[in-house]
Structure 1
């Protein structure tokens, strides 16, 4: 086996959306990054296709949301066929109150373009077959076209899917369960039109999620409780028969672009980091596809990990900062697994108690405003927060919460926060007067953008906030008055910059 050193600080295994997003974040921080991907080409299938509101905000912080929207079909409402329940994401306090429908291959194309423009090397057709840590390096065994060689890097991140080789090498368990039924997906045209762009039809036999691509094709995701597993390819006839059963009428599907059949699983890695090896995305967690959370969790994993690993590689922070990645993101994925498991079991059950419960829950969640806002907030990721950030002594009550795309005065035309975050570092908004609030941080620090301006537009708790410090991933480190900031802000800043 050949052996060679590498010029890269980080090797990322997997060029799906998670790996490409992470590579772009690392490159923004000046980290030399290489992505290896066993597939020769980007996926040509639609696969994961829905970007929720918070994911779109994340992409806007990096300047690619407009390109996504130019190719996408934004859907603001979800209809559930239980008493006509309607969930309106347009009520969310965000510019992206919608489910943005775009095939995974196009999302990958946009993220890969960004990553390579920042200097990332993406090598396709290269499989990572083994890895091990030796001191301060990780040795990776790579294979391409029968040639096997070894490369070393300071860090390795596995974004290599549910069968992750990196997770296996770390020794992390992937505990969970497999559901007793399977899901069929088919991208087809429908001869019988639907009134809704996104419909979840629930019946005693199972459910179907119908999603409009906006170009004449629909994604039909079907769970038929009575259908046994089969290793045979999904045929158009099978799709036709299954849809007719669940809709109670002939939907006349045609012109299939992609069909697939798979088991539904819910699993979570027992840990996300071991020394200089980490995992993210499906390598760390998988769950029921109901709610379309998988792709979104992966991109947000990458956003959380990217700036932290960049700070460690560049010597700005101790490596225990990386432990906050696992602490924060593992809690989020645990919550998603619990909710999607409960929803899937309740929505597919034929037992009378569950049938009564799902009608009651859907009625309350869609018609009672606080319950509706809670449901769409968590579905969209807008409500995701990191309580561990607020646990620090003297922390602001807003610490760990998502900061909306605030308008900030004092820069000619009001500046939007997401635009300010595109440099990839921290942002300090100071709406008061007096001396600098972080005197021990040099003005030349490229990792901190100071904005001396007032928040002129912001929902709820952000009105009247004088000072706010925002992490590179758009979460609040500290917020409050200028008087308190003089005593607390420096500690808050260095807690995150030094781990």
Structure 2
């Protein structure tokens, strides 16, 4: 086995959406980054296909949302057959009140182009087969076409899926369970049209999630409680029979683009970091696909980790900052695992108490306004907050929450927050034009953009604070009155901007 020393700060294993998003974030921070991917080509199947509201906001912060929307089918409403419950995401306080339907391969294409434009090397057909740490260096064993060699980097991030080699090398357990039933997925045309673009049909035999691609094809995700596991490929005849059983009529599926069969699992890694090795996305957590959260969790993992690892590699922060990645994102993934587990078991059970519970829960969640807002807020990721941040500085209940795409009016035209965040650093909103509140170094090297002016229009609680410090991932690092800003904002800066 040969040995190479390559001038990369970070090697990322896995060129799925999580790895590509992370690569782009690191490159924007000036990090020399390489992505290795065992697959020869980008994903051609639709696979994970739904981007929720918060993920679209994240992509907008990097100037990618418009291209995604140009290729996508935005669906604002989800109908559940139980009592004709309707969940309306267009009511969310965001420009992306929808589920944005786009095949995973196209999402990867957009993210890969951004990463390579920023100088990232993406090498396909290269498998990471092993890794080990030696002080400040991680040694990676790579293989391509029977050739094996070793390369080194300062950091390694495993975005290499549920069977992660990086997680295995870290010694992290992947605890959880496998459900007693399987899911069949088929992208097909339907001869019997549906009235809804996104329908969850629930019955005593199981459930089916029907999603409209907007181009004549539908994704049909089916859980049939009575269907045993099979290693055989999914056939069109099997899809037709299963859909007829769950819909009560022949849906006449045809022209399958992709079919698959897999077990549903819920698992969480026991830790996300071991020294200079980290994991994100499916390497760190997997769960039931009900709700379409997996792709979204991975992209948001990458957004959270990217600016932090970039600051550590660039010498602007100690590696203690990386501990906040697991503290913040593990809580989110745990919540998703818990909710999707309850929902999946409740939706697929044939027991009378479960049937009563799911009809009651769906009715309450869809028809009571406050409950409806809570349900779609958490489903979309809009309601996600990082409470560990609030305990650190505690100036405002806004600390740790997602900052909307506010319009701030200063001396010129109004500035949109998502556009201001596209440089990949922090943004400071300061209503007054007084002396700068942050150390000159933070503003002088491009890591922070200062916006003077007031927030335009009714933005709820965001109209109140005079000063708001926004992290590169669009979460509030500190908010409060200017009179308290000099002391408390300095503490927030030491925690987030410069350690």
TM-score, normalized by length of structure 2? 0.99
- For 1:463 and 1:369, the matched residues in 2 are separated by 24
- For 2:24 and 2:197, the matched residues in 1 are separated by 32
Q: In the alignment, which residue of structure 2 is the partner of 1:27?
A: 27
- For 1:302 and 1:206, the matched residues in 2 are separated by 34
- For 1:433 and 1:70, the matched residues in 2 are separated by 39
Q: In the alignment, which residue of structure 2 is the partner of 1:94?
A: 94
Pairs within 5 Å for 1:168-179:
168-179=168-179
Pairs within 5 Å for 1:132-147:
132-147=132-147
Structure 2 unpaired stretches of 5+: none
Q: In the alignment, which residue of structure 1 is the partner of 2:494?
A: 494
- For 1:493 and 1:145, the matched residues in 2 are separated by 48
Structure 1 residue matching 2:444: 3-state secondary structure: coil
Query: 1:411 offset after TM fit, Å?
Result: 4.7
Q: In the alignment, which residue of structure 2 is the partner of 1:203?
A: 203
Aligned length: 499
With over 3 angstroms needed to count, the CA separation of the structure-2 counterparts of 1:443 and 1:280, relative to structure 1, is closer
- For 1:159 and 1:458, the matched residues in 2 are separated by 40
Tell me if structure 2 keeps the 8 A contact 1:465–1:481. Answer: yes
Query: 1:393 offset after TM fit, Å?
Result: 4.4
Tell me if structure 2 keeps the 8 A contact 1:455–1:464. Answer: no
Q: In the alignment, which residue of structure 1 is the partner of 2:220?
A: 220
Tell me if structure 1 keeps the 8 A contact 2:55–2:381. Answer: yes
- For 1:115 and 1:457, the matched residues in 2 are separated by 35
- For 2:54 and 2:236, the matched residues in 1 are separated by 35
Structure 2 residue matching 1:19: 3-state secondary structure: helix
With over 3 angstroms needed to count, the CA separation of the structure-2 counterparts of 1:458 and 1:449, relative to structure 1, is farther
- For 2:192 and 2:150, the matched residues in 1 are separated by 55
- Root-mean-square deviation (CA, aligned residues, Å) is 0.9
Pairs within 5 Å for 1:149-168:
149-168=149-168
- For 2:79 and 2:267, the matched residues in 1 are separated by 28
Query: 1:458 offset after TM fit, Å?
Result: 4.9
Q: In the alignment, which residue of structure 2 is the partner of 1:318?
A: 318
Greater alpha carbon shift after TM alignment, 114-123 vs 409-418 = 409-418
TM-score, normalized by length of structure 1? 0.99
Tell me if structure 1 keeps the 8 A contact 2:405–2:417. Answer: yes
Q: Deviations over 1:164-218 (max 9, x none)?
A: 0000000000000000000000000000000000000000000000000000000
Q: In the alignment, which residue of structure 1 is the partner of 2:110?
A: 110
Query: 1:440 offset after TM fit, Å?
Result: 5.1
- For 2:405 and 2:97, the matched residues in 1 are separated by 13
- For 2:394 and 2:256, the matched residues in 1 are separated by 57
- For 2:246 and 2:16, the matched residues in 1 are separated by 33
Pairs within 5 Å for 1:75-474:
75-439=75-439, 441=441, 443-474=443-474
Structure 1 residue matching 2:66: 3-state secondary structure: helix
Q: In the alignment, which residue of structure 1 is the partner of 2:55?
A: 55
Tell me if structure 2 keeps the 8 A contact 1:73–1:102. Answer: yes
Tell me if structure 1 keeps the 8 A contact 2:442–2:448. Answer: no
With over 3 angstroms needed to count, the CA separation of the structure-2 counterparts of 1:55 and 1:83, relative to structure 1, is same
Structure 2 residue matching 1:358: 3-state secondary structure: helix
Structure 2 residue matching 1:214: 3-state secondary structure: coil
Q: Deviations over 1:100-133 (max 9, x none)?
A: 0000000000000000000000000000000000
Structure 2 residue matching 1:256: 3-state secondary structure: strand
- For 1:189 and 1:97, the matched residues in 2 are separated by 26
Tell me if structure 1 keeps the 8 A contact 2:393–2:478. Answer: no
- For 2:414 and 2:442, the matched residues in 1 are separated by 26
Structure 2 residue matching 1:83: 3-state secondary structure: helix
Tell me if structure 2 keeps the 8 A contact 1:157–1:279. Answer: yes
Structure 1 unpaired stretches of 5+: none
Tell me if structure 1 keeps the 8 A contact 2:13–2:19. Answer: yes
- For 1:199 and 1:439, the matched residues in 2 are separated by 52
